Amino acid sequence: MAAPLGAERALLCCLFLGGLCTLASAATRYHKWEISYQFTSQDCVRKLAVTINGKTPGPTIRAVRGDTIVVAVNNTLMTENVAIHWHGIRQIGTPWADGTEGVTQCPILPGDTFTYKFVVDRPGTYMYHAHYGMQRSAGLNGMIVVEVPPGQPEPFGAYERDHTVLLNDWWHKSTYEQAAGLASVPIVWVGEPQSLLINGRGRFVNCSSEASCNVAHPDCSPAVFPVVPGKTYRFRIASVTSLSALNFEIEGHEMTVVEADGHYVKPFVVKNLNIYSGETYSVLITANQDPNRNYWLASNVVSRPPGTPTGTAVLSYYGGRSSPRARPPTSPPAGPAWNDTAYRFRQSVDTVAHPAHVVAPPARSDRSILLLNTQNMIDGKIKWALNNVSFTLPHTPYLVAMKRGLLGAYDERPPPETYDHAGYDIFNVQKNPNTTTSNGLYRLQFSSVVDVVLQNSNMLRANSSETHPWHLHGHDFWVLGYGFGRFDPAVHPATYNLKNPIMKNTVAVHPFGWTALRFRADNPGVWAFHCHIEAHFFMGMGVVFEEGVERVGELPPEIMGCGKTRGGH
């Protein structure tokens, strides 16, 4: 049950053009995964985790642009299904491989093996994680690294090697308990995470208070990132947090941001990097500090009042006088003030496309969908809603229901296209927080250009608005603009950055702010678009887009078996 089964490099195409043979080759990379429960001690406290080949995080998938990835996922859990999403991979031509339970597939039952097969068509840093219930938080997550083909330059200098950094937050309570609490009246909120993890490793600070805590457990030995003095390294950073917005810092080392969500960024230098759940970045650092000591990698919660200690790992200089795993002599960086929204806003705005890699956005859109993000109530339960509709997943995947024309699988009435943007007071608790649920979706004209504006607002608690990282499946979008306060469709579109917007798949909506994005609906399939905070999506903070479902190829029968596709219907 080892991770990669090896790669078969195959001749993809050989084109004779004016006597020139362009030889491109692509590999098929096979992985065999076994999903199982394991007792692990990620932050030194023993807990039941859901693992891939016995580990959390799972193995990093490495590939070269154009490769085909095949992952045979065998579910050996006892009674629990799974589904794995390949976050940032657009699944062009393979919408059934997106791994989104209820949207693109039925879940994988205990005992079953489901084989995901898809092409990674763009170099960059991505991630994978469960997309079913709250299993991502239970341990099913990892990274995907897609390299440029050998010899192909990237728009920044060479680097010695890359390091992958997967950031997470971690609770001692099970995800079943967390979800049951969210659905309770009154709500039972799990609270802030006990620990922050870097590459799956953290350290619970009150270890002596927990009988099952063992500081010597190898699972919680801090991750070590070796560097050779004078060399430059690429750190590929991803966040799979359930809740936390994070700030990442490498003590004493400036970071040059060069990639975001698989797109080259106009390089800019930061002391520390704000990263929201579902985002990836590449930064370059040069090992130019005193090699006779080690340095901290630090992850700190921002955007929520601090309740969790800094997550740490170690940057270790080769050849210095410090032992590789030695604790740095300083205190770990504490990060910026948790509520310095302006600081984080600025970094968002600073993230624009690399001049040589601008993908020009269409000058205008065919349709604008304005989504007001609110916290709401249904029968005493707290929910999140868009335009006063709280999203629920159907139990027959949309992709199957729509492609096959199954009736009654979802609500055919589309959710509202807009809200009272002139009248709604985003700075106060809403007057009537009651909402309804729906699994209706937005049907987009194929190849049309769609703008979405995400408007944040005050929560049910006064003077509170959170950061919501919205993630779009199946596409990258242009990030056209961010603003504070009320979005005005008569004013703000004129301020959009159409010159060099970065393309991303996940973007932050800042407290009391708005974010505008544009995408082309040119990927046949059905695609979720949702807040990447695990609890928020669970509580209804998402929508679904369909485009060109009639163009989707024949669906693999393996994605069926649930809801209206049960028993061969």
Interface with a second copy, residue 188, by CB under 8 A: yes
Strand-pair category, 367-378 with 381-386: antiparallel
Instruction: Return d(Cα 169, Cα 277) in angstroms, integer.
Output: 10
Interface with a second copy, residue 179, by CB under 8 A: yes
Binding-site member from 26, 82, 301, 352 for a second copy (CB under 8 A) = 82
Interface with a second copy, residue 133, by CB under 8 A: yes
Instruction: Return d(Cα 485, Cα 349) in angstroms, integer.
Output: 16
Interface region with a second copy, contact rule CB under 8 A, candidates 102-110, 270-278, 444-452, 501-509: 102-110
DSSP string for 323-353: -TTPPPSSPPP--S-TT-HHHHHHHHHH-BB
Nearest to 349 by CA among 260, 277, 442: 260
Interface with a second copy, residue 37, by CB under 8 A: yes
Interface with a second copy, residue 465, by CB under 8 A: no
Interface with a second copy, residue 409, by CB under 8 A: no
Interface with a second copy, residue 72, by CB under 8 A: no
Interface with a second copy, residue 427, by CB under 8 A: no
Task: Name the residue type at position 509.
Answer: V
In the bound complex, what is the minimum distance in angstroms from residue 188's beta carbon to a second copy?
7
Q: Which is nearer to a second copy, 523 or 565 (CB)?
A: 565
Interface with a second copy, residue 219, by CB under 8 A: no
User: What is residue 173's DSSP assignment?
Assistant: S
Contact status, residue 84 vs residue 58, Cβ threshold 8 Å: no
Residues 291-310 that bind a second copy (CB under 8 A): none
| Contact residues for 430 (Cβ-Cβ < 8 A; gap 6+) | 374, 376, 424, 457, 458, 460
Q: Which is nearer to a second copy, 130 or 255 (CB)?
A: 130
Contact status, residue 196 vs residue 301, Cβ threshold 8 Å: yes
| Contact residues for 317 (Cβ-Cβ < 8 A; gap 6+) | 226, 227, 228, 229, 287, 289, 291, 292, 293, 294
User: What is residue 220's DSSP assignment?
Assistant: G
Binding-site member from 1, 14, 180, 185 for a second copy (CB under 8 A) = 180
Interface with a second copy, residue 55, by CB under 8 A: no
Q: Which is nearer to a second copy, 38 or 418 (CB)?
A: 38
| Contact residues for 216 (Cβ-Cβ < 8 A; gap 6+) | none
Binding-site member from 93, 181, 416, 433 for a second copy (CB under 8 A) = 181
Neighbours of 60 (CB within 10 A): 18
Contact status, residue 276 vs residue 238, Cβ threshold 8 Å: no
Strand partners, 21: 16
Strand-pair category, 68-75 with 20-40: parallel
Interface with a second copy, residue 39, by CB under 8 A: yes
Dihedral of CA atoms 513, 518, 523, 528 in degrees, nearest 10, equals 10
Binding-site member from 25, 115, 174, 437 for a second copy (CB under 8 A) = 174
Interface region with a second copy, contact rule CB under 8 A, candidates 170-178, 245-253, 284-292, 528-536: 170-178
In the bound complex, what is the minimum distance in angstroms from residue 439's beta carbon to a second copy?
11
Total residues at the site for a second copy (CB under 8 A)? 43
Interface with a second copy, residue 395, by CB under 8 A: yes
Q: Which is nearer to a second copy, 48 or 269 (CB)?
A: 48
Q: Which is nearer to a second copy, 178 or 467 (CB)?
A: 178
Interface region with a second copy, contact rule CB under 8 A, candidates 3-11, 132-140, 142-150, 278-286: 132-140
Q: Which is nearer to a second copy, 198 or 400 (CB)?
A: 400
Interface with a second copy, residue 373, by CB under 8 A: no
Interface region with a second copy, contact rule CB under 8 A, candidates 65-73, 78-86, 304-312, 408-416: 78-86
Contact status, residue 525 vs residue 98, Cβ threshold 8 Å: yes
Interface with a second copy, residue 415, by CB under 8 A: no
Interface with a second copy, residue 225, by CB under 8 A: no
Interface with a second copy, residue 413, by CB under 8 A: no
- Which tokens in the block code for residue 367? 């349709």
Q: Which is nearer to a second copy, 81 or 456 (CB)?
A: 81
Instruction: Return d(Cα 60, Cα 28) in angstroms, integer.
Output: 16
Contact status, residue 108 vs residue 70, Cβ threshold 8 Å: no
Binding-site member from 28, 38, 418, 437 for a second copy (CB under 8 A) = 38
Contact positions vs a second copy (CB under 8 A): 37-39, 48, 78-82, 106-107, 109-112, 132-135, 174, 176-177, 179-181, 183-184, 188, 394-395, 556-563, 565-569
